[in-house]
Amino acid sequence: MTTAERPAASAPHGRYPTERVPAHARDLHLTDSVRSARDDARAQGGQSGEWMPYLPASGSPYRPPGVDPAALVWAETVAPGGYTHKALARGTRLRFDDPTGDACAHLLLFNALEPVERLNVADTLKIPWQAYLGENHPLLSGDGRVLAVVSDDSSGRHDAFCGTSTDAWNERKYGDARPEGPAPSGRGLFLKAAAKHGLGRRDLPPGVSFFQGVRVGADGTLGWRGSAGPGTHVELVAEMPLLVLVANVAHPLDPRPDYVVGPLRVHAWRGAPTGPDEPRFTATPELHRAYLNTVDYCEARGL
């Protein structure tokens, strides 16, 4: 398909219009020599946008309450339809904020040192005997260890059944799934995030998502519950060195015909992994043994 044949960008809709280049952008730049082009490029720095990483992270304009700015290691607002990724040290606190009630944080986790160890959603539900994610719910790998645990949750609207969207899903639902287009699929974004860490299609297992809830009916029906409204957050503790992939895309079951997703804020800061003296470590027999396995692995590796 040539550029000319592609469908025209849709008109702005909802609360999140796409960014647009001014009609006369050409007139705003003097770039007829290397020196003028350099000056023009450098003059563009220092601006802020609605969605961007904040560097250093300590300067985040949206620093979570009670967090020491000097401890921040990651601060970013992910655009609607955007993705981000980071390798995090063991013990790091990771917080997602949904400022508008329309974010949907699709998440994949890997052991950063051995990425064949990765999130296993079946074990994440089966081993805690609980289908719905909430505080103290571990995000387990297939190797019997805790990759991360939910340490705080003011939303309660999450999903571990539907995973993220695919190109086939979005093409059927929205008529478009191009990663550079108005309706990117979560899998399409995960593929790019994974590729930046040397991972590919084989390395993307089913994931979980935060901020848009799904409940299972008595007959198995997957019921959409949507978000808990603007201003909620979820916090995780990295219990192992983590590779984190995040795609902020519309939930597959979102019933709205428009592709509506809000910005997603991400913050992470230095901290300690859950220790044996904390109530969470022994909260259930399964969680206790999962932590014992996790500590065993980390101590053997000198972490």
Partner 1 sequence: MATTRTGNTPVTFPTASGGTVASTVPVGAVHAPGSPLDRGASLVEGAVVLDDTVAPNAPWSAVVRRGHVLTIVDVGGNQSADCLLYDADDPEERYSVPDTLAWQGNAYVRTGTVLRSNEGRALMTVVANEIDRQDTIGGACGKESNTLRYGHHVMFQHGCRENFLAEAGRRGLGVRDLVSNLNWFMNVPVEADGALGIVDGMSAPGRRVAVRADRDVLVLVSNCPQMNNPCNDFNPTPLRMLVVDPAAVAGGTRSAAAAGTLGGTA
Interface with partner 1 (CB under 8 A): 116, 120-123, 125-127, 129-132, 140, 142-145, 161-164, 166-169, 187, 200-207, 216, 218-222, 252-253, 286, 289-290, 292-293
State the minimum distance, in angstroms, from the CB of residue 186 to partner 1: 10
State the minimum distance, in angstroms, from the CB of residue 258 to partner 1: 19
State the minimum distance, in angstroms, from the CB of residue 160 to partner 1: 9
State the minimum distance, in angstroms, from the CB of residue 27 to partner 1: 44
Sort residue 247 into left (φ over 0), alpha (ψ -120 to 50) or beta: beta
Q: Is 171 exposed, middle or buried (0-12, 13-18, 19+ CB in 10 A)?
A: middle
State the minimum distance, in angstroms, from the CB of residue 184 to partner 1: 14
CA distance 229 to 137: 22
From residue 126, give the alpha-carbon distance in Å to each of 5, 132, 150, 280, 285. 48, 11, 16, 18, 14
Beta carbon nearer to partner 1, 63 or 215: 215
Beta carbon nearer to partner 1, 81 or 252: 252
Neighbours of 10 (CB within 10 A): 15
Q: Of 184, 176, 182, 195, whose CA–CA distance to 245 is shortest?
A: 195
Beta carbon nearer to partner 1, 51 or 211: 211
Beta carbon nearer to partner 1, 80 or 138: 138
CA distance 245 to 84: 6
Beta carbon nearer to partner 1, 64 or 142: 142
Paired with 85 in beta bridges are 245
